[in-house]
Amino acid sequence: MNKKLFRKGENHRTPGWYLNSGEIELFLTEEGGHHAPVTFKAGKGAPIQPYFISPWQDARPDLSHIPLLQNLRGDFFCLPFGGNPEPVDGEKHPPHGETSASKWTMTAAEQKGDVTFFEFEMETKIRPAKVVKRFEMRKGQPVLYVTHTVSGMDGKMPYGHHAILSMPEAGETMYFSAGKFDYGLTPPNVFADPANLEYQYMASGAEFDSLKAVPTRFKDEPTHDYTVYPSPVGYVDLLAVFKKPGKKPAWAVASYPDRGYLFFSLKNAAELPATTLWVSNSGRYAPPWNGNTRCFAIEETCSCFADGLKTSIGKNALTRKGWKTCGEFSKKNPTVIHHIQGVARIPAGYGKTKSATFSDSAVTFTDKKGNSVTVAVDWKFLMD
């Protein structure tokens, strides 16, 4: 283990590790394995820090009843993905699983040529398994290559990533695009219940074929454009779009013109068919949210929204449409889940991303006006 590549420390009073490849510095929480802040230093200009950190981190309220909220920030791996409100066959998992709340152990930190990598392990207890988290950082690329390898586990389980970005501030604009998708749906059940001091803008169980026209609960605005942010103030919502597997990665982009960068997510839709968007603009008022949680999450999942284990492994609104909402895990063969997260500096005037074009070792994002940016990335990492 190369101790020059990392150091133990705290960030916002949270213990963890600072990982450093020279071009990317990443803080990973020991409990839950949440990564943020992440500082991308490649290229000219100020470093880019795209991820959200929840506003209660420094206050450290007692959140032991929902442990993942203690360190809520950036991205983390969920197994099983979702709230998991009900036990299944004697298993009662915490929200988003042990992988998002329990302790990880560092097992590797190495630099070989242009590649720097770090590995962490966890032994889950509720349904026994070994999970290995791996980050790769490659010279000249503002990109995180992330894998989670699950071994020693049998049975069905939903899973996914939970990458949380910041909602744009007043006077700023953020544009989101996931390109062409095959199906769109809001959660069939109420997502934000006023009885819990939370409020949703979107209609429940509403199908849509464009993010520019997602059905709402209101007569005066029957649909809302969820490609332009900030979203309506005082509401928290969830929606999902689904893509069929193809020869190239599925992609999603959040561009921040006022900040001069975009964040992108690349995945293999065979592993992660859903892009689930969590849109929070002060829509939850109970602690620890307290009406001041403003974030936007691109959650790449294989799940039935955030409904958890019971709903995702059974028949549900999505499986009835032919969509996979859980993985089939086997002790005989490890399951590897791949994800790419990265950033790129954008030219002045860059707006909403219209397309992503993949070449041998790069992706080019182009907006509706023809402005483009090319990022060096080994996207074939996802497709092997």
Say whether pLDDT at 56 is over 80: yes
Cα–Cα distance measured from residue 202 to residue 204, given in angstroms and rounded to the nearest whole number: 6
Cα 228 to Cα 214: distance, rounded to the nearest angstrom: 12
Q: For residue 234, what pLDDT is reported?
A: 98
Residue 43 predicted with pLDDT over 80: no
Task: Please identify, in words, the CATH class of the domain defined by 3-382.
Answer: mainly beta
Domain spans in the chain, listed from the N-terminal domain onward:
3-382
Residue 59: how many CA atoms within 13 Å on its side-chain side?
Answer: 13
Residue 80, CA distances (Å) to 18, 53, 97, 312 in order? 27, 22, 5, 9
Phi, psi of 188 (to 5 degrees): -60, -35
For residue 42, pLDDT over 90 is answered with: no
pLDDT tens, residue by residue, 10-27: 999 999 999 999 999 999
Rounded CA-CA distance 81/153 in Å is 16
Distance CA 160, CA 306 (A): 10
Which pLDDT score, from 0 to 100, does residue 178 have? 98
Mean per-residue pLDDT over the chain, rounded = 98
Residue range 93-112, pLDDT digits in tens: 999 999 999 999 999 999 99
- Mean pLDDT value of segment 190-209: 98
| 62 pLDDT higher than 80 | yes
- d(CA 343, CA 138) in angstroms, rounded, equals 13
Which three-class secondary structure string do you get for 68-104? HHHHCECECEEECCCCCCCCECCECCCCCEHHHCCEC
Distance in angstroms (rounded) separating the CA atoms of residues 87 and 308: 10
Straight-line distance from the first to the last Cα atom of the chain, in angstroms, rounded to the nearest whole number = 27
44 band by pLDDT with thresholds 50, 70 and 90: confident
- Pick from 157, 371, 380, 174: nearest CA to 266: 380
Compute the average pLDDT of residues 372-381.
98
Q: Using an 8 Å Cβ cutoff, are 370 and 341 in contact?
A: no
CA distance 237 to 215: 12
- The percent of residues in the chain predicted with pLDDT above 90, rounded, is 98
Per-residue pLDDT at 384? 76
Reported confidence tier of residue 170, pLDDT bands at 50, 70, 90: confident
The 10s digit of each residue's pLDDT in 324-352 is 999 999 999 999 999 999 999 999 999 99
Distance CA 18, CA 291 (A): 30
So what's the pLDDT on residue 127? 98
- The pTM for the full model equals 0.97
Name the nearest CA neighbour of 306 among 32, 96, 64: 96
Q: What are phi and psi of 106, to 5 degrees?
A: -75, 135
Q: Which two tokens stand for residue 236?
A: 């928290």
Is pLDDT above 90 for 380? yes
Reported confidence tier of residue 244, pLDDT bands at 50, 70, 90: very high
